Structure 1
Amino acid sequence: MIAYEWRGAFGNDEVNALHAEGFAHRVLDDDWWTQVNGHSLGWVCARAGTDLVGFVNVAWDGAAHAFLLDTLVTGPARRQGVGTGLVGLAVEHARAAGCEWLHVDFDDDLRSFYFDSCGFRPTNAGLVAL
């Protein structure tokens, strides 16, 4: 059984390992706890028992716009609805905070997940690589 928690407690090592797996890079030593507490509307943690199996960060502009960042689900928990559960709780709390829009960008292979499973719709957007 998966338990979801808005603004759930986590260890930096847990999210760093999950991020490395999800984005195929070496494990970093980022201070996620300070980052999300200082800059985010909130985040969602998904746990199977004590194991962190999913995470999403909900950044925002302090007003009408929120942004999903770093939607992550560990390999063994994928394709079981964990990502949809993470995003659903993020949507619920962004709406409750008074946000009018929730934005997300993603790689093409995730179109079906965000559009079909999570209810996002395509929009025009722009991107500048920095």
Structure 2
Amino acid sequence: MDMVYAWRGELADTELVELTRAHGGASEPGRWDRIRGHSLGWVTARPPDGALIGFANVAWDGGDHAFLLDPKVRPDQQRHGLGTELVRRAADGARAAGCTWLHVDFEPHLRGFYLESCGFRATDAGLIALG
């Protein structure tokens, strides 16, 4: 399937809510409108007809560090390289903005995707659960 990828492409809150819910995730209307201002950028993936198929958000610290958040591909479109391409384009966008690091956190079952398919390397990190 032909796919159109866009850095900081148009994205309606309702589209992201629908994509998140397609994964069984909880997303309330207005969430994207609230977090968009904290993003360095984001990548959208759409077929020529325009429906949102994939998304990845890139937050940042205003300097060298970017953070990959919420990458997702519609479940019926997974395992075709779309997620890997979203991450590659997110890294390109962060690099073009002057970032030197792209961080990602992931659940253990996604280790192969991030480390093998996307080229991240394992690091020591710390985490405090705040809620």
User: Unaligned stretches of 5+ in structure 1?
Assistant: none
Mapped contact 2:20–2:26 kept (Cα < 8 A): no
Matched, 1:55 2:31: no
What is the rounded CA distance, in whole Å, between the counterparts of 1:81 and 1:29 in structure 2?
Answer: 29
Report the aligned-residue RMSD.
Answer: 1.2
Q: How many residues of Structure 1 are paired with residues of Structure 2 in the alignment?
A: 128
Alignment match, 1:46:
45
- Give every structure 1 segment of 4 or more consecutive aligned residues whose post-TM-superposition deviation is greater than 6 Å: none
Q: So what's the TM-score if we normalise by structure 2?
A: 0.92
Indicate the percent of aligned positions where both proteins have the same amino acid.
52
1:96 Cα deviation from its structure 2 partner: 1.0
1:31 Cα deviation from its structure 2 partner: 3.6
User: Unaligned stretches of 5+ in structure 2?
Assistant: none
Report the structure, 1 or 2, having the larger strand content. 1
What is the rounded CA distance, in whole Å, between the counterparts of 2:63 and 2:73 in structure 1?
Answer: 28
Mapped contact 2:8–2:42 kept (Cα < 8 A): yes
What is the rounded CA distance, in whole Å, between the counterparts of 2:123 and 2:75 in structure 1?
Answer: 29
Q: So what's the TM-score if we normalise by structure 1?
A: 0.93
Mapped contact 1:20–1:28 kept (Cα < 8 A): no
What is the rounded CA distance, in whole Å, between the counterparts of 2:19 and 2:110 in structure 1?
Answer: 18
